A and B are shown apart, each in its own frame.
Chain A
Amino acid sequence: MAIIFQKPKALKDTSMHYCPGCTHGIAHRLVAEAMDELNIEGDTIGIASVGCSYNSYDYFGCDMIQCPHGRAPAVATGVKRSNPDKIVFTYQGDGDLAAIGTAEIIHAAARGENITVIFINNTIYGMTSGQMAPTTLLNQFSTTTPYGRQADLHGFPIKVCEMLATLEGAAYIERVSLHDVKHIRKAKEAVKKAFKVQQQKKGFSLVELLSTCPTNWGLNPVEALNRIRDEMIPNYPLGVFRGESLEV
């Protein structure tokens, strides 16, 4: 019988520790499929960050470095500048990338570092149990905004793609969503394009994946996917923010 669907080769056989309904598994799969299809796993160095995906090296088969909170773009810069022909990607959450790592992501983009950033935005800190993230929506409940995020107390959510798209060094910036099959297929194309941008040495690429955190949102998996559609996308519009006409 012909095999028509299987685990990507760039993913290991380890069972994942992510919660039911969490979209990290989908995001990992998309990155691994891109590695398989571009045949780059052996030349790739991944940078794991701090958060639920701290041990993504247990799942990805490529060489990897686990790094301090928020510093993945700096670590990736060190790897890429000393190994310009290798493929380097970071995999970061919203607390990691948009709070403690704000300086690192902005300057990596501004320098046009030829790396790929996979940015998981689920509007909350997952691993430390549901605190407010820079991307937490107004009125969203979290363990550190127990009465809801208020603009006058907690400020406004940061729109990472829109912000980074102002930088000339950024070659390709796109926001996609993982809430249904149609959007996952679109996300797959974006992730693959980001790696191709790097392969062709065109500069900094980032794909923001709107993702779930059912556990800390207090929703079941289906409700969590619906929340992306109903609450997140209206605040975080999907689309290409830089590099739309970039041919790869």
Chain B
Amino acid sequence: MGQRLLMKGNEAIAEAAIRAGCFHYFGYPITPQTEIAHYMAKKLPKVGGVFLQAESEIAAVNMVYGAGSTGIRVMTSSSSPGISLKQEGLSYMAGSQVPAVVVNIVRAGPGLGGIQPAQCDYFQACKGGGHGDYRQIVLAPSSVQELYELTVEAFNLADRYRIVVMILGDGILGQMMEVVEFRDKEEIADIEKPWAVTGHGGKRKQNVITSIHLDPAVLEKMNQNLQDKYRLITENECRYELYNSEDAEVFIVAYGTVARIAKSIIEMAKNEGLKVGLIRPITLWPFPQEAFDKVKDRAKAFLTVEMSSGQMIEDVRLAVNGTGPVYFHGRMGGMVPNKFDILAQIKEIYSRHINS
């Protein structure tokens, strides 16, 4: 058994990154994720790494672009308004295929919004927050343990596919403390990076990291290559959890913090004789279609619960593809969905589609 530590979610992310071989962090302060920077500022100099507080989120993400271009593991983190500023760099990294891990501990918006938890950045994270036809892998942990495990995984995925991987958390996950059990040693994917700009040393041809191709035929080909890569990721890397799904008739679809609330509702529903299951996407992009295919024969209805006005629900509808009704329950502005409200909605759905 590995080391067990009581940690804040944000600290677990930082510790996981270091254990995954990320010794370079560039960031800018913003609540509710700044503990990641605090942890990195303390730890990285002791392991020969670099913590640098940039002059802005824009500068931070471009430092990540530069460092990632040299083939090292590198990370930045922020929260919603800061992630908006980082979109320029994310688009460039997508275009020039520079791997990096970006953490978004989401707070409520729009604008400066508030500092309470939200899931209102799903569209930005999953549908391409910056300009151009691109994707990034989006991982949605729902516990501090999973923040650790998925952060390690994020670095392996980033290197394997030369892609940006975003950890999409929320203010609750970042701030809460739970016990984390660390592995003694991380499995770090050993991936060669012949594309990295490290100085050719007179031994190989020049390497260039670029996203500009003024010849449209060349740029279209580059886009096609990106899309091929995205298809490969969709085939290989979908992750999800099915909970209490064996005989469930109504499925809650939820990720992150909200998925934890859903699990407690499922227990309450059991006591009332309602068969409720959970589909918890762990990769938000690629969206786990397979989870929906597995339950479509028995699912009578779906209820998507989000801390937003309804963003993931668009992907849920596409995944369900008309095989059943899809309902929505959401709270905004930093308010967290209430389990009694959700249970009441499940009862309504039951009476409409199952007990009618």
**Contacting B92 at CB < 8 Å: which of A42, A62, A68, A76?**
A68
Question: Contacts of A229 on B, CB cut-off 8 Å?
Answer: none
The 0/1 profile, CB within 8 Å of B marked 1, for residues 35-70 of chain A is 000000111110110000011010001111111100
Instruction: Give the distance to chain A from B203, nearest Cβ to Cβ, in Å.
Output: 8
Instruction: Give the distance to chain A from B88, nearest Cβ to Cβ, in Å.
Output: 5
The 0/1 profile, CB within 8 Å of A marked 1, for residues 56-96 of chain B is 10111011111111101010000000000000110010001
| Complex Cα spacing A77 to B25, Å | 12
| Complex Cα spacing A27 to B243, Å | 64
Please indicate which of the listed interface residues B26, B65, B209, B211 has the most CB atoms of chain A within 10 Å of its own CB.
B209
**Contacting B62 at CB < 8 Å: which of A54, A68, A106?**
A68
Question: Contacts of B211 on A, CB cut-off 8 Å?
Answer: 66
The 0/1 profile, CB within 8 Å of A marked 1, for residues 192-213 of chain B is 0000011111110011111110
Question: Contacts of A86 on B, CB cut-off 8 Å?
Answer: 198-199
Question: Contacts of B208 on A, CB cut-off 8 Å?
Answer: 57, 63-66
Q: Residue of B at shortest CB range from A69?
A: B88
Determine whether A183 belongs to the interface, using a CB cutoff of 8 Å to chain B: no
Whether A54 and B212, one on each chain, are in contact in the complex, defined by CB atoms closer than 8 angstroms, is yes
Instruction: Give the distance to chain A from B218, nearest Cβ to Cβ, in Å.
Output: 13
Interface set, chain B 193-239, CB cutoff 8 A to A:
197-203, 206-212
Whether A78 and B55, one on each chain, are in contact in the complex, defined by CB atoms closer than 8 angstroms, is no
Whether A81 and B50, one on each chain, are in contact in the complex, defined by CB atoms closer than 8 angstroms, is yes
Determine whether A74 belongs to the interface, using a CB cutoff of 8 Å to chain B: yes
Determine whether B54 belongs to the interface, using a CB cutoff of 8 Å to chain A: yes
Determine whether B52 belongs to the interface, using a CB cutoff of 8 Å to chain A: yes
Interface set, chain B 23-68, CB cutoff 8 A to A:
24, 26, 50, 52, 54-56, 58-60, 62-68
Q: A75-B65, A77-B66 are in contact. Are A45 and B210 (CB under 8 A)?
A: no
**Contacting A82 at CB < 8 Å: which of B70, B96, B203, B210?**
B70
Whether B210 and A74, one on each chain, are in contact in the complex, defined by CB atoms closer than 8 angstroms, is no
Number of interface residues of A (CB under 8 A): 36
Question: Contacts of B54 on A, CB cut-off 8 Å?
Answer: 74, 107
Question: Contacts of A42 on B, CB cut-off 8 Å?
Answer: 199-203
| Complex Cα spacing A107 to B69, Å | 21
Question: Contacts of A78 on B, CB cut-off 8 Å?
Answer: 24, 26, 62-70, 74
Determine whether A194 belongs to the interface, using a CB cutoff of 8 Å to chain B: no
Whether A64 and B209, one on each chain, are in contact in the complex, defined by CB atoms closer than 8 angstroms, is yes
Whether A43 and B201, one on each chain, are in contact in the complex, defined by CB atoms closer than 8 angstroms, is yes
Instruction: Give the distance to chain B from A19, nearest Cβ to Cβ, in Å.
Output: 17
Whether B206 and A64, one on each chain, are in contact in the complex, defined by CB atoms closer than 8 angstroms, is yes
Instruction: Give the distance to chain A from B102, nearest Cβ to Cβ, in Å.
Output: 14
Q: Residue of A at shortest CB range from B202?
A: A42
Determine whether A103 belongs to the interface, using a CB cutoff of 8 Å to chain B: yes
Q: Residue of A at shortest CB range from B208?
A: A57
Question: Contacts of B64 on A, CB cut-off 8 Å?
Answer: 78
- Can you list 16 pairs linking A and B with CB atoms under 8 Å apart? A42-B199, A48-B210, A64-B206, A64-B209, A65-B210, A66-B212, A68-B92, A75-B66, A77-B66, A78-B62, A78-B74, A79-B67, A79-B69, A87-B199, A103-B59, A104-B62
Other A-B contacts than A74-B65, A82-B66, A104-B62, 7 sampled, CB-CB below 8 A, are A57-B206, A65-B69, A68-B92, A74-B58, A76-B66, A77-B52, A79-B197
